[in-house]
């Protein structure tokens, strides 16, 4: 059963702060705490809510370099092995199979440029099928969020019209 408007509101509240209590959510959506608990359990079981995490500042943990790395794979036969190996590399925060010149786009963190060089030269470029990497280093971040937009098209249109 697809999420209804109350489920969307619950998801919105959890995305903003996963530590929001079920009592607080119940108050916000006008349901009892047991009803909210049941809805959250169903959202988790259906895979809509995949988990809960703490957002961590990598720089405060000594990971000063963030980069995006495009990786080109020579032949589709290498995709499965590449995907399995990428799962084991802790510096890789995200890995997306993409269309275009690259086969994959990675979001990575590293201690410094030397560690990034090692990741690229000693790990990624040595994987079977990798023919090319292209790295873009992040200088600063303007926007970063984990929230999936849940609003309908109409509110989005109104926001765009309100922009100067």
pLDDT at 47 over 60: yes
The strand order across the sheet containing 130-137 reads 92-97, 104-110, 65-73, 130-137
Domain ranges in the chain are 5-53, 58-137
The mean pLDDT value for 25-53 works out to 97
Q: What tokens does 129 get? A: 């099928």
pLDDT at 154 over 80: no
The mean pLDDT value for 79-106 works out to 98
pLDDT at 94 over 90: yes
| Residue 160: predicted pLDDT | 54
One CATH from 3.30.1360.70, 1.10.10.10, 3.40.50.300, 3.30.70.600 for 5-53: 1.10.10.10
| Residue 163: predicted pLDDT | 59
Work out the end-to-end distance of the chain between its first and last CA atoms, rounded to an integer number of angstroms: 40
**Residue 1 confidence class, pLDDT cut points 50, 70, 90:** confident
CA 45 to chain centroid, in Å, comes to: 20
Record the pTM: 0.84
Separation between Cα atoms, residue 25 and residue 15, nearest integer Å: 12
Query: CA-CA distances (angstroms) from residue 86 to 50, 74, 76, 121?
Result: 20, 16, 16, 15
pLDDT at 28 over 50: yes
**Residue 162 confidence class, pLDDT cut points 50, 70, 90:** low
- Annotation: CATH topology of 58-137: Alpha-Beta Plaits (3.30.70)
Separation between Cα atoms, residue 60 and residue 62, nearest integer Å: 6
Mean residue pLDDT across the chain: 92
- Asked if 71 and 81 touch (Cβ cutoff 8 Å), the reply is no
């Amino acid at each position: 059963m697809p999420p209804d408007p109350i489920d969307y509101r619950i998801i919105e509240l959890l995305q903003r702060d996963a530590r929001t209590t079920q009592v607080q959510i119940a108050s916000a959506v006008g349901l009892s705490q047991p009803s909210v608990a049941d809805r959250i359990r169903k959202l988790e079981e259906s895979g809509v809510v995949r988990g809960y995490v703490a957002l961590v500042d990598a720089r405060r943990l000594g990971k000063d370099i963030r980069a995006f790395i495009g990786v080109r794979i020579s032949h589709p036969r290498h995709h499965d092995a590449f995907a399995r190996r990428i799962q084991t590399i802790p510096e890789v925060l995200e890995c997306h199979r993409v269309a275009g010149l690259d086969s994959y786009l990675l979001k990575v963190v590293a201690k410094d440029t030397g560690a990034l060089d090692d990741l690229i030269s000693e790990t990624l470029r040595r994987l079977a099928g990798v023919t090319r990497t292209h790295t873009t280093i992040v200088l600063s971040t303007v926007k970063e969020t984990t929230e999936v937009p849940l609003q309908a098209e109409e509110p989005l249109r109104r926001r765009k019209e309100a922009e100067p």
